[in-house]
């Protein structure tokens, strides 16, 4: 949550969030504190694309990327592919803004790499999606 002052929706008690942490909140036994936060509305323009990949048990040092036929995914150039973030040894996640490819068809694949070990591509044809022109889109996949 962004820094600021937030109120308990049940009691109107206020707390301060600073540096991503709630300051000075103490709760007694069986007490609760409920904060409701809604992120500011996104502007009408733009698309945010989120990739979630499960099903590939990664090893220390491996990296997962998404490459594809659009500028945001590197136009099939692995050096420019979009890197995902490690969640655990079986899950990788990443979100990126899409500008040039919004509203267009894209093709993409997941790849796993490790320095000195080469690159492993998914053993399947590329994924194809027609992207919306704006908004949020989450693409969930299992490694094949």
Q: pLDDT (tens digit, 9 = 90+) per residue, 87-124?
A: 887 899 999 999 999 999 999 999 998 777 789 899 99
pTM over 0.95: no
Where do the domains of the chain lie? 1-40, 47-142
CATH number of 47-142: 2.60.40.10
Taking a C-beta distance cutoff of 8 angstroms, is the pair 131, 50 a contact?
A: no
Please count the helices (runs of H) and the strands (runs of E) in the chain: 0, 12
Taking a C-beta distance cutoff of 8 angstroms, is the pair 55, 64 a contact?
A: no
Give the pLDDT band of residue 4 (cuts 50, 70, 90).
Answer: confident
More confident site: 95 or 6: 95
Query: Average pLDDT, stretch 28-37?
Result: 82
Question: Between the CA of residue 44 and those of 50, 63, 66, 88, 90, what are the distances in Å?
Answer: 18, 33, 26, 34, 34
CB-based contacts of 141, cutoff 8 Å, min separation 6: 51, 52, 53, 54, 55, 110, 127
d(Cα 140, Cα 54) in Å, to the nearest integer? Answer: 8
Q: pLDDT (tens digit, 9 = 90+) per residue, 60-88?
A: 888 999 999 999 999 999 999 999 999 88
């Amino acid at each position: 949550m962004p820094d600021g002052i937030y109120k308990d929706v049940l009691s109107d008690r206020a707390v301060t969030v600073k540096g991503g942490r709630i300051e000075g909140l103490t709760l007694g036994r069986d007490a609760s504190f409920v904060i409701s936060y809604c992120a500011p509305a996104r502007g009408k323009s733009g698309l945010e694309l989120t990739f979630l990949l499960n099903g590939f048990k990664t090893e220390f040092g491996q990296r997962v990327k998404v490459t594809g036929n659009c500028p945001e995914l590197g136009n099939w150039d692995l050096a420019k592919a979009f890197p995902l973030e490690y969640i655990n040894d079986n899950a990788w996640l990443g979100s990126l803004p899409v500008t040039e490819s919004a509203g267009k068809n894209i093709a993409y694949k997941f790849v796993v790499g490790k320095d000195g070990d080469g690159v492993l591509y998914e053993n399947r044809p590329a994924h194809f999606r027609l992207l919306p022109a704006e908004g949020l889109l989450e693409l969930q996949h299992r490694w094949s």
